[in-house]
Amino acid sequence: MTKNKKIIATTSLAGCFGCHMSFLDIDERIINLIELVEFNKSPINDIKKFTKHCDIGIIEGGCCNDENIHVLREFRKNCDILISLGECAIMGGLPAMRNGIPLKECLEEAYINGPTVKDVNSQKIIPCDPDIPKILNKVYPCHEIVKIDYFLPGCPPRADLIWNALYALVTGNELLIPYEVFKYD
Amino acid sequence: MSTFVKFIIDGKICLSEEGKQLIEAAKENDIYIPTLCNYPGIPPKGSCRICTVLINNRPATACTTKVTENMDIKTSTPELEDFRKAVIELLFSEGNHFCPSCERSGNCELQALAYRYKIAVSRFPYFFPERSVESWHPKLIKDHNRCILCKRCIRGIKNNDGKTIFAYGRRGQYLEINIDPETSKNISDELAEQAMNICPVGAILVKERGFITPIGKRKYDYNIIGSEIENQ
């Protein structure tokens, strides 16, 4: 039976983990899910690296730094189907609200001029250690970096939408999207 | 006495007064033609193009066309539906529409149309323009990020002297709708409320309120836009 199980990997890039939380909101259906699928790299089971090729990769969050891009490309390489889960993966979401502001201004506000930092950062340091992922000029939707096969909107996507989509994808049944589960907020 | 005319919408024989706006005439016959820039009671503009239909096989906007005898109208061919979706997607790509943080989410007509067409993602790259939020007006907030330039506010909202409060400013890709500081200075709370409600998106907001209706009770949480016309 294990042989036929589809393998799923998930990740959270520039997201808040809300989409993963919503994923867990499928409640007891997770027992049905675990009959159908096996999880590989994912924060849910804490597997850090791909140990085999996966059928489905679920991406939460857009790309705001170079590490996000690296992980997203890894997912594209290791997964047959990629799903953008939630507004941030689809269009940048709330992190992309910085896209209209020049990056320099963002960093200065966060580390030098902001009310909680201006008195403590007397040397006016903006962190730039090589170990820290480099922040990108903008937050990019995932499909502008790699090919994405499916999009599930919502902030977070309703648990029923995630369940319906995964179930349809894994079993090959038709996907039904009731109006009330297809939302942007 | 007004003359009645017979016309056909999607194969259905319809009746309405001659010279009536096609959108309204369709509504009388329980047919919904999607629109964004049209608002009952104010002169049509034809700026959003979402109500484009085929009239005797030629495309025309249903808000600016008047019905005449024997018109043959098609409202939803696959090409028209795809065209409509493209227009909605363009609007989402062109502005900064962050639904999760918007006060109007759930009551927004642009969002409701996107729900109706089940648009999960725009086919066009997101533009992320640099736009400002005007919060210095005494009663209103003007968020240029969300404005779709439909001109409903310019056409529909006038102060006590009959003067317009909203006006176009700048040109081309920088075009925006501004609030006139003079004519908007002493507007009543009712007019401010009206201005907020006439806006199809969350670009005009009354200050010091927002997120009043909880999720699940908002206008388009369970009801598809246009269903009130179609299900009559």
pLDDT per residue as tens, chain A (185 positions): 456 899 999 999 999 999 999 999 999 999 999 999 999 999 999 999 999 999 999 999 999 999 999 999 999 999 999 999 999 999 999 999 999 889 999 999 999 999 999 899 999 999 999 999 999 999 999 999 999 999 999 999 999 999 999 999 999 999 999 999 999 99
Are A84 and B121 a contacting pair at CB < 8 A? Answer: yes
Are B98 and A97 a contacting pair at CB < 8 A? Answer: yes
Which residue type occupies B181?
A: P
> Nearest by CB to B101, which of A94, A101, A153?
A94
Query: Which residues does chain B have with pLDDT short of 70?
Result: 1
Confirm or reject contact between B128 and chain A (CB < 8 A): yes
**Looking at residue A3, what is its pLDDT?**
61
If DSSP codes are grouped into helix, strand and coil, which group holds residue B178? Answer: strand
Find all residues with CB under 8 Å of A130, minimum gap 6, and list them: none
Are B100 and A87 a contacting pair at CB < 8 A? Answer: yes
Contacts with B221 from chain A: Cβ below 8 Å: 180, 183
What DSSP letter does each residue of A70-107 carry, written as one string?
A: HHHHHHHHHEEEEEEESHHHHH-TGGGGGGGS-HHHHH
Tokens of B204: 């005009």
Contacts with B105 from chain A: Cβ below 8 Å: 184-185
Fold of domain B85-206: Alpha-Beta Plaits (3.30.70)
**Looking at residue B160, what is its pLDDT?**
86
Task: Tell me if B34 sits within 8 A of B22, measured CB to CB.
Answer: no
**Looking at residue B107, what is its pLDDT?**
96
Burial label, A162 (beta-carbon count in 10 A; 0-12, 13-18, 19+): buried
Find all residues with CB under 8 Å of B35, minimum gap 6, and list them: B23, B48, B50, B51, B62, B63
> Nearest by CB to A151, which of B106, B120, B125?
B120
The residue ranges of every structural domain in chain A are 2-97+138-181
Please report where in the chains the tokens 């016959």 appear, as a residue.
B29
Are B115 and A84 a contacting pair at CB < 8 A? Answer: no
Which residue type occupies B160?
A: N
Q: Which of B119, B112, B93 is nearest to B36 (CA)?
A: B112
> Nearest by CB to B99, which of A84, A100, A185?
A185
> Nearest by CB to A177, which of B118, B131, B224?
B118
Q: Which CATH architecture has domain B4-76?
A: Roll (3.10)
- Chain B segment 188-217 residues within 8 A of A by beta carbon are 215
Instruction: Classify domain A2-97+138-181 at the CATH superfamily level.
Output: NADH:ubiquinone oxidoreductase-like, 20kDa subunit (3.40.50.700)
Mark out the alpha helices in chain B (DSSP H runs): 22-28, 78-94, 109-116, 152-156, 189-198, 227-230
Q: CATH 3.30.70.20: which residues of chain B?
A: 85-206
**Looking at residue B143, what is its pLDDT?**
96
Contacts with A61 from chain B: Cβ below 8 Å: none
> Nearest by CB to B121, which of A94, A99, A143?
A143
Pick among B93, B121, B231 to test the A interface (most A CBs inside 10 A) = B121
Q: Is the ipTM of this complex over 0.90?
A: yes
Rounded to whole angstroms, the Cα distance separating B134 from A178 reads: 38
Burial label, A68 (beta-carbon count in 10 A; 0-12, 13-18, 19+): buried
**Looking at residue B173, what is its pLDDT?**
87
For B172, other C-beta atoms within 10 Å of its C-beta total 5
> Nearest by CB to A184, which of B105, B131, B224?
B105
Contacts with A183 from chain B: Cβ below 8 Å: 115, 221
Q: What is the CA radius of gyration of chain B?
A: 18
Are A180 and B215 a contacting pair at CB < 8 A? Answer: no
Are A182 and B122 a contacting pair at CB < 8 A? Answer: no
